[in-house]
Structure 1
C-alpha cells in the first residue's frame, strides 16, 4: 500500500465527504439544486480547509448531467472530466503565475464564448490575492456582469489584499479551521479505509499538530504511516514529530513545585538534547496550565471540557491541587504571552530557559499589596509623631516606637518642616497626662525649618549628662526653651487631639499653623474636603482656586499638613468638578522613592527606579 499522497487519494468528491464547513456546504448545495448561481464567489481561509476542493465539487454539481442537483453523481462524463481536470468548460488558473493584466484580458476574451460541453463555464482562480492591481481592474466589469452561464470562484488565504471593489462584487464565504475533534474523526475514517490499527492518542497528536488544517493533518498521517509499523502508536508519532511526552511535563511540574531551578534546567536540557519542537512544546505547556487551572477551579466537572483520559485526568488533578490557583493562572498567562518572544528570539533556548525559571520563581516575587497593607508584618514602620499631639498618632504610638534617636540628635523634619522631639524625651504611656494638660505644659513646637534662623549646633545636640537625665526631666517638667533663641515663639499645637478627625478640624489645625505651613486657611475656606481610606480629596469651587492649591509648593505643604493631622499614610488630591489635578513629576518621584514596597524591591533585587508616571 502506498501512503505517499493520502491527500490526493482521499480527496472528497461530494459535499458530504468534506470534513467540516457545514454552513458553506449547505449554502452551495442549495444554490446548485435551485440553479441560482452568483456571478462570482470568494472563498477565503487558512490553508488546507477545503476551499479548492469545494470549488471543484460545486463546479461538478453545476455541470452534472443530472443538474440542477444538490450533489454531483461522479458517474457522468462531465463529472469525470472535471475530477480529472480535463474539462473544457472548467478552467483552473494559478493566480501566482497568471497575475498580469494581459492574463486578465485573455480571461475576458475566453469568458465571452459560450460553454462547449457543460451547462456552466466555471473559472477557478487559486491564490487570487496574487493578482496585480491592474489585473483586478481589468476584471471589475466582468465580475459584475459576466455573460450568462458563467461564474468565477476565487480562493485565497489573504482576503485583506483584495480591493474593496472586487469583494463587493462577490459572495464572500470564510472557511473556518477544523476543530481537533473533526480532524480526529476524519483521520479515523482514513485509517479505517486503509484497514490499519492505531492508538487514539496518536491521532489526537497528529490532529493537534495539524492546527485545524486537513491537508497538514493528512500529510503528517502519511509520514507516520511511512514508518511501516503494524500499529500507529503515540510514542512513535511523538518521536518522529519531535514532541515531548507527558512524562517530560510531569518532571517539569515536579521541579517547579519544589522550586528546584537546577532540576528545571535539566528538564530543559533533556528537551533540547532530544531535538524537540520548542514551538509545540510551548503550546503543550500552555495547554497543561489551562487544564490545571480548570481542574483546580471546577474539579471533575471540567473533564468533559478537557477531553482527558481517566488516568491522565487523575494525574493532572493531583498536580492542580499542589499549586495555588493564582500561581497557575499567572503561569498560564506568562506562557501564553512568552510564546512569540521565545520563537522570535535570536536565542530561543535561552529565552525558553528564562521563561521557565521565571515561572518557577513566581511565588517568590514580592506582593506590593501585602507590603503596603496596614497591619502587615512587612509594612514599613510608622513615622515619628510630633510632640504636643496626643490621640491616635501621638501618645498611643509614642511609647511603642521608642528606639535610638536620629543621627542629628534633635529629631527630623517632615514634608511640612515640623520639628519632632527625640524619642528618648517622650513620656511613657502609663505616665502621660491627659492630652489637654500635656499640651498646656509641654513646650511649644519649633518653628518650621524654612522660617526659623540657623541655630547653634551645640543647642541641638544634648550632652551625655542631659541625655541621661532626659527621662526624669520628662516625668517632672519639660525643659524650658532657650531664652537666647532669636526666633519668635510659634503658636501652640492644636489641643483637639481626641475624637474623629474631619475637614472642620483640619481647617482649625491649619488656622493655628497659619503663616508657618505655607498654606493660608483662606485658600481652603471656600473648598470642601472629604477624607477617604488613605486620601484627602479637596474639591474646589473654581478653577482659579484649584490652580492655586495645585501649585507644587502649596500642594507639598498640604501633603505635610494632612499627614501630620490625619496620619502618615494620607495623601492629598485637589480636584474641581470631574477634572482632577495630578501631582507634579517631582512629587510622584519622591512618593515612589519613599514607598515601602519600592524600597524593598530596590533592596532585595538591587533594582533602580528608572521613571515614575501617574496612574491612569
Structure 2
C-alpha cells in the first residue's frame, strides 16, 4: 500500500458502483479501489500499469496471477478505465466521465468481463474471437477480462493462442487467475505476466483502520490486528470478516467481539497448550481440544497460529533473550512465552514447529478434524519419547551452548522431525534408508587433547585406540552412519581403514577433500601417523545374499527391525549415478 494517498485516490476508494443502488452494499463493494493509488499492497504492479496507460504502451495481453482477494480483477478494471478514459489515456482514470462511470458500473459494451469457469469450451472462445474482430462502439479500445482463466479447456487455450499473439490493434486481453501453473507455456509467453503479492500485515491493518474511520466506528488496535491476521494477506477476506464482526452492531470494535464472532483462540489458551505439551499432560490436551470444539473455534486458524508460536518458542529456546526482537507478539506476551520456551529443548521445539506446519493441511482436511488435532497435540507432547532429545531444565534455555543442538543432531536420525508422527514412522520402512546424518563439526576451541576428549565423551572407549579414533572422526564431521561401518586397526605409526563399500569410500573421500586424514590422525594420536585406506574395487559387485547379510548387520537397520518388528523383503544395490553398494 502506498504510504500516502492523494485526495483523489482517497475519494476514489468509495467510488460508486451499480451494486449501491440496491440499498445495502457490502464493505468490499463499497470500498473497492477505483484508482491505481487506492489499491492496497501492489505498488510495483500498479506503477507499471499506470505508466503503460499514460504512455500508450499497451500490450496485446496481460496475465494477472496471485492468491484470492489481492486485487487482480480490480486492477484490470482500473486499467481498462485508464486506457479508455475520455480525458486520457492517463496514469489514473478520472472516474467522472461517462466512459469511466460505465466501466465502474459494469455496463460498458466494449469492456467485457468473462467468467472462465462458466465459459470453458472452445465454442465460447471462437465466439469471443469473432466479437474481438469488430471495432469498439464507444471506447478507445476493447478490453476483455477473463476471470479464473485457468478453468479454460485445453482446446479453448489452443483456440486463443493466435488471437493473443496477433490481436487486433484495438483489443487488449487481461487474464486473471489464482493458478498460473495450469496455463500452457505458450499462453504465458504471449502475455505480460504480473504476480500479485499477498498484502502485508501492516498494510492490511492500515486499510482496515481507514475503512473503520470512514464508517465512523471506534476500534481496538488489537481487534484490527486479529482481523488482518485472519485475512492472511487477502483484502477481500479481511473486508468480509470485518463486515461479519460489524454485524453485531456494537459501538466499538473490540478484541473480545472479534474472537467471539470469528472463533479465534486467545493467547492464554495457546499458553495452556504449550504448557501441556511441555509437561506431557495428555489429559489437559484432551480437555483443551474439547473446549476448542465445543466453543466453535476455527481449528484451521488455531493450528496456523500455533505454528507461528512454535516458531517463536524455537527462536527463544535457541537464542534466548536475543530472539525477543524476532518474536512477533505483543510485548506483554513475550515474557510469558519466554518462560514457557525455557522448558523446551531446541530439538523438541524444532520438531514441534515442523510437525505443526506439515499438519495444517492434514488436520483441516481430515474426516474428523477434532480427533486429528488431538492426535497432533499428543504427538507434539511425546516428541521426547519418539526422538532422542532431552527436555531442557527450567531457566537453562538461555545458557545452552551452540554445541548442544549439534550433539542432538548427531544422535538423531536424518528425518527425525518428519518421522515423529505414527504415519511418518510407518512410511520410513518404505523410504530408502539414508546414509548420511552429518554431525556438526567441533568448535575447535576445547583445551583438552583429542584423546582426552574422546575418552571423556565415551568413557568405554580407550584413548588412542581405533574406536577412539573413529569417534574423533565423527567429532570432526564425518557422518555417523559412515563411521558405524568402518573397520580398521592402529599399529604404531600406521592407521589402516577398511571400507566395506564403494559408496562409503566415496563419502570418506568427500570428507578427506575438506580435512586431511593424516592431519586428523596426527592431532588425535599426538604424533605423525600414516593413514592407509583399503577401499573395494569399483568394479566389485556383491551378490544379493551378500547385500542382505550387510543389511542385516547394519546397526540402523537392526534398530528399525527391532522397533517395528520388521523384516527385510528385498535388497538391491543403489546404482544412481555411480557404483554404490
Asked whether the two chains share a fold, i.e. TM above 0.5, the reply is yes
Residue of structure 1 equivalent to 2:496: 530
Q: 1:502 aligns with which of 490, 508, 522?
A: 490
Which residue of the other structure, out of 123, 135, 144, is the alignment partner of 1:102?
A: 123
Q: Alignment partner of 1:172: what SS?
A: strand
> Does the aligned pair in 2 maintain the 1:4–1:222 contact within 8 Å?
no
- The structure with the larger Rg is 1
The residue number in structure 2 matching 1:588 is 551
Cα separation, partners in 2 of 1:367 and 1:139, compared to 1, 3 Å: closer
**Which of 120, 128, 140 is matched with 2:149 structurally?**
128
Q: What are the residue-to-residue correspondences of 1:186-585 with 2, within 5 Å?
A: 186-365=207-386, 367=388, 501-502=489-490, 530-531=496-497, 536-537=498-499, 574-576=535-537, 584-585=547-548
Distance 2:276 2:299 in 1: 19
CA RMSD of aligned residues (A): 3.7
Distance in 2, matches of 1:504 and 1:23, equals 70
Cα distance in 2, alignment partners of residues 148 and 66 from structure 1? 20
CA contact (8 A) 2:496 2:534 kept: no
**TM-score normalised per structure 2:** 0.68
Aligned counterpart in structure 2 of residue 20 of structure 1, from 21, 30, 41: 41
Q: C-alpha separation between the residues in 1 aligned to 2:63 and 2:136?
A: 22
Q: Which residue of 1 aligns with 2:75?
A: 54
Q: Which residue of 2 aligns with 1:608?
A: 565
Which shows bigger deviation, 199-208 or 133-142?
133-142
Whether the 8 Å contact between 1:255 and 1:261 is mirrored in structure 2 is: yes
Report the Cα offset of residue 374 of structure 1: 8.2
User: Which residue does 1:90 correspond to in 2?
Assistant: 111
Please report how far the alpha carbon of residue 13 of structure 1 lies from its aligned counterpart in structure 2 after TM superposition: 0.3
Verify the 8 A CA contact 1:279 1:343 in the aligned structure 2.
yes
Q: 1:593 to 1:608 in 2, by over 3 A?
A: farther
Q: Secondary structure at the match of 2:37?
A: coil
State the secondary structure of the residue aligned to 1:42: strand
Deviations 1:514-568 (A, max 9, x none): xxxxxxxxxxxxxx9823xxxx33799xxxxxxxxxxxxxxxxxxxxxxxxxxxx
* CA drift at 1:20: 0.9
Query: Cα 1:302–1:79, aligned 2, differ >3 Å: closer, same or farther?
Result: farther
Q: Secondary structure at the match of 1:16?
A: helix
Which stretch has the larger CA shift, 237-246 or 213-222?
237-246
Shift of 1:241: 1.5
Q: Residue by residue, what CA displacement relative to the aligned partner does 1:191-240 show, whole Å, maximum 9, x if unpaired?
A: 11111111222222222221221111111110010011111112221122
Distance 1:55 1:579, change over 3 A: farther
Partner Cα separation in structure 2 for residue 586 and residue 89 of structure 1? 76
Which of 38, 55, 63 is equivalent to 1:42? 63
Q: Secondary structure at the match of 1:155?
A: strand
Aligned-partner Cα distance in 2 for 1:98–1:578:
62
Count of matched residue positions in the alignment of Structure 1 and Structure 2: 440
- TM-score (norm: length of structure 1): 0.64
Q: Which runs of 5+ in 2 are unaligned?
A: 1-19, 390-409, 414-452, 467-487, 503-532, 575-579
CA gap of 1:192–1:338, structure 2 versus 1, over 3 A, is: same
Contact kept? 1:41, 1:152, Cα under 8 Å: yes
- 1:356: how far off? 1.4
Q: Does 1:30 align with 2:18?
A: no
Note the C-alpha offset of 1:100.
2.9
Look up the match of 1:558.
none
Tell me the CA shift for residue 71 of structure 1. Answer: 0.6
Q: CA deviation at 1:289?
A: 0.7
